[in-house]
Amino acid sequence: MAENRRRILEVATRLFKDKGFDAVSVAEVMKAAGLTHGGFYGHFSSKDDLVAQTLAHALAADSVGEGNFSDFVRSYLAPRHRDNPAGGCPTAGLAAAIRHQTPAAQSAMAEGLRAQIARIEKALPEQGLADKRRAAIGSWAAMVGAVILARAIDDPALSDEILEQTRAWIDTRVS
């Protein structure tokens, strides 16, 4: 039962990040997870419940990682990440759509955001406490915004420039 639930959450994460919440049905999630539609309600009370729990699951797994902050910024603001929404950051993939979701989904996003900011704060070079928090919030906002903008346009050169210039801007602010 726990393995099936984990599989549903993993599949839903990929599908929601790739297509958005509204474009993915419960039946599609269950089929992609290799399970029957009828088994859904043994795990979730509704699609809204699935959305909220998927966000909590995806955002708990999303993090700065084991490397240093500069390495994280370089990998996050890279064409490879930009070009893989389904396998990429759930914040960049789903943040804009959260305002149309339930309070539970919005709460999951807020908790994920708090956790990511805290992880970035820990990964940043030593600074004063207020400066570190400001740098964490500003860097994360710039990174997520850059990926959203870079994915939104049909101009590859401008898309690459958005990623490159945001990396450079963060480097000058955080180094």
Q: Which CATH architecture has domain 2-57?
A: Orthogonal Bundle (1.10)
Q: 26: exposed, middle or buried (C-beta count within 10 Å: 0-12, 13-18, 19+)?
A: middle
Separation between Cα atoms, residue 152 and residue 142, nearest integer Å: 15
Span 28-63, pLDDT tens digits: 999 999 999 888 999 999 999 999 999 999 998 766
Q: Per-residue pLDDT averaged across 83-95, rounded?
A: 93
Pick the CATH number of 59-174 from 3.40.50.300, 3.40.47.10, 3.20.10.10, 1.10.357.10: 1.10.357.10
- Kindly list the domain boundaries of the chain, sorted by start residue: 2-57, 59-174
Q: Percentage of residues in the chain with pLDDT exceeding 70?
A: 95
The least confident of 101-115, 127-141, 148-162 is 127-141
Reference 15, options 27, 28, 4, 3; nearest CA is 28
Q: What is the pTM of this model?
A: 0.87
